[in-house]
Each structure stands twice: as structure tokens, then as C-alpha cells.
Amino acid sequence: MHHTYAFKPLPLSFILVLAALISRSVGEVPPNKSHSDVSYYVTADGNHEPVRAAADWSKRREQILAGMQEAMGPLPRPDKPVPLDVQILEEHQEEGYIRRKIAYHTDRPNTRTHAWLLLPLPLGEGRGEGALKNPIARLPAVLCLHQTTPRGKDSPVGLSDRPTLHYAKELAKRGYVTLSPDYPSFGDSKDYDFDADDYVSGSMKAIYDNTRAIDLLQSLPEVDGRRIGCIGHSLGGHNGLFTAVFDDRIKAVVTSCGFTSAHKYKGGDLQGWTSPRYMPLVATRYHNSPDEIPFDFPEILAAIAPRAVFVSAPLHDDNFEISGVRDCLTAAAPIFKLLGAPDKLRAVHPDCAHDFLEPERRQSYAFLDEYLKSESK
């Protein structure tokens, strides 16, 4: 049954100081603020004022980003990012697309992120280098983020895990350029040392890596840089939402099994969000408490508006409780309406457990087509 709702990295000392300054900004994250309610913004004197217009919402949105960066650390914004310096490691011709393994820099000149780049055929006259220099048209692209899985990027492209999670492969056959990078601590980044980097959280490290992945996509001659989306399941589902909040180059995002409200996640115990690859401060500063953490998923959904968000949230997902998902959707929907985009927040609730089954994948692909294959959207 389905229900549809219409750098170089900064020094750690500097990051910690900046995080402290963010947390002390006047009126941004006051004590006992309700992060499940996006109908107001906080004034400089700490009062709650209703969001009645887009200008009001812009104030609350700034406060949401500040709250996320309290828990995750600040997003790096270097004036001159480290050059990507993309290397091609492997290339394979598959049915309907080229699968290319690449490596590139994100934040350090001595380390590389590995990813699979899928390029739909035909690219031009023949294939290989000549084809890449003369594409027949610039195509939309989708950043495809994997779930918690040892082989990381291999999953979305169909080299590991169950077929329900091979969305990069399916989207390439549908005419999208897709990029599937490793999340830190998976795949070729399995030995990533979170304690040795300059990030407050693994979540922010992944967000910044994803912004560089978008830089990479926009650099490709095959890609129309104005038409970029994101899709992910589970870890990839919330990783994609987090990234879309901070990077408005993502015009449409699909999240499968990616979230529920903080109070309904594991009965309100947020320990699952506290590992090094997530947000250790949820434990050490916010005591695993949904009453203390400075952001929640209604805010995250609303902060993406008026861009497009498709949610696949199964009825029997034991990771992300369904009534909490519905609470988040209900809270965020008025912001999409306020910003003139009521149809851009959609959700389906399949009668299954923690998975991304074919009917929901097909609906999500049609959603991406609607917002990425039409330049007028």
C-alpha cells in the first residue's frame, strides 16, 4: 500500500573555536528550542516569531544550518579548494554505459577519494577519449550514495549487495551520469582515521566530500551542471539530505530509509548517531538526548525547500520508525507550500522493511526525471 504526499582542511583548533562561536550566536540555538516545529524563527532577544513569509523562513533556515554545524562542526569553505586532479584507474564497457573507476582529491593533496563514474552510451562518435571530448549533449547527473556496506561505492553500481540498491546502474541506463563515491570508512576508504582529520564529525567530512563530488560532476563535459540530483539509501539516505541542505546545486534529492524524528529514533536514544563516522558530539555534548541535540529532521527537510525531495519510508523499517517520518513530513510541508513548491515534497510508504524496492525506485526515478530532465523546472 502506498501513500503519496503531494580545501585544504582547517586546523582543528580553528574549527573548535568556530563551532563555539556558532553555538553562542545570539538567538540562533536557544535552550529548549523545539526542533520539530519549523513554524517560527528566533529573534535576537530569544523570542519565537511565526514564519509568515519567505524572509522569515530565511532567518530560521540560517538557524537550522547553525544548529547542524554545532553538532557536526562547520562546513569548510576554502577560498581555493584543493585541485581535484582526477585520475582514471579502470574502465569497463557495460550494457548501456561505461563504468569508470576514478580517484580524486577532496580536502588534502596527499589523499584521494575513490568513486565509480557511470557514463551513459552513446557519448559521441565511438567511445574512449574522443567520445568524452565530444558528447552529443550535456546530461543530468546524480550523486549516488551508498548504505552501510563494507564495499561502499560498489553497491550502487551493481558490484555488490542486493539488486534493490543498484540505483546508480539503473539511473545510468536511464540516461544519467552517475557518481558513486566511498563514504569515509568504507570501500577503498575502509582505513580512514577519523581521529587524524580536522573535522568535528564524520558526517561533516562526508558532506564536504560530497560537495567536491558535485564540483567534479560540474567539471565534466558530459554533465549539465545545472541539473544535478542525489539519491541514497539508509546511510546514503541521510547523507544525501545533509549534503542537500548545505549545497543548493542539488536540485532534487531521493532519500530511502534515511530518517525519522529524533524523539522516535530508537525510543529517543540517539546512540546510533554517535560513532566516529557520524556525530560524536551527540553523545559527549548532547547526552544522546533528542531534547538537547540542536537539529532534527523536520528542519532538514524544510531547509531543502523549495528544491525537490522524494522520501521512501517503509511501514516496517526497524531503523527509522514510520510515525516519526510522518511527523517530519507533516512539519516540513507548510514550508514547501510557503515557498511555492507544495508538490516538491513527496513520500511513499511501502509495506516492507528496511529496503528500496522496485516500485519505489521507479517512482523516485520518475521524480528525478521530472525535476532534472526538464530545464524549466
Element (H, E) at 199: none
Inform me whether the pLDDT recorded for 323 exceeds 80.
Answer: yes
Do the strands 87-94 and 345-348 form a parallel or antiparallel pair, or are they unpaired? unpaired
Inform me whether the pLDDT recorded for 370 exceeds 60.
Answer: yes
What's the confidence (pLDDT) of residue 279? 98
Range of lowest pLDDT (9-23, 25-39, 115-129, 363-377): 9-23
What does the alpha-carbon distance between residue 144 and residue 155 come to, in Å, rounded to a whole number?
Answer: 10
What does the alpha-carbon distance between residue 323 and residue 15 come to, in Å, rounded to a whole number?
Answer: 36
What's the confidence (pLDDT) of residue 374? 78
346 in Cβ contact with 6 (< 8 Å): yes
Tell me, yes or no, if the pTM score tops 0.85: yes
What does the alpha-carbon distance between residue 126 and residue 110 come to, in Å, rounded to a whole number?
Answer: 35
Find the distance separating the first CA and the last CA of the chain, reported in whole Å.
29
Do the strands 250-256 and 223-233 form a parallel or antiparallel pair, or are they unpaired? parallel
- If pLDDT is split at 50, 70 and 90, which confidence band does 18 have? very low
Alpha carbon 192 to its chain's center: 20
Inform me whether the pLDDT recorded for 65 exceeds 60.
Answer: yes
